[in-house]
Amino acid sequence: MLLIPCPWCGPRDEIEFHYGGQAHVAYPDDPAALSDEEWARYLFFRDNPKGPFAERWSHSAGCRRWFNVVRDTATNEIHAVYRIGEPRPVIA
């Protein structure tokens, strides 16, 4: 089980959280202008790295707020936790 440090509540067990997948995926500015390929990219393609991954979590059984985490998918190590609206931290 992951121990996830909520930026508001501190470290809590994974069981209190809901996963939200890749972070920083912006809704297209002008969806109607997209080609089919671009729309497919937006709808269906998400990064799937083996390594550091910026992802969203919601503390659904706690403060109920969404936030972002950089976690290494090869080790499950959490490198950074940051609030929605903040830029992705640079991981050394």
Give the interface with other proteins as residue ranges (CB under 8 A).
1-2, 14-15, 18-19, 21, 36-37, 40-41, 43-46, 48-50, 53, 55, 71, 73-76
- Asked whether position 6 contacts Zn ion by CB under 5 A, the answer is yes
Q: Rounded distance, CA 55 to CA 53, Å?
A: 6
Decide if residue 59 touches Zn ion (CB under 5 A): yes
Residue 3: strand, helix, or coil? strand
Instruction: For residues 57 and 13, give the distance between their C-alpha atoms in angstroms, rounded to a whole number.
Output: 12
DSSP code at position 72? E
CB of 36 to Zn ion, least distance (A): 40
Which option in other proteins, Zn ion, none does residue 45 bind, with CB closer than 5 to 8 A by kind?
other proteins
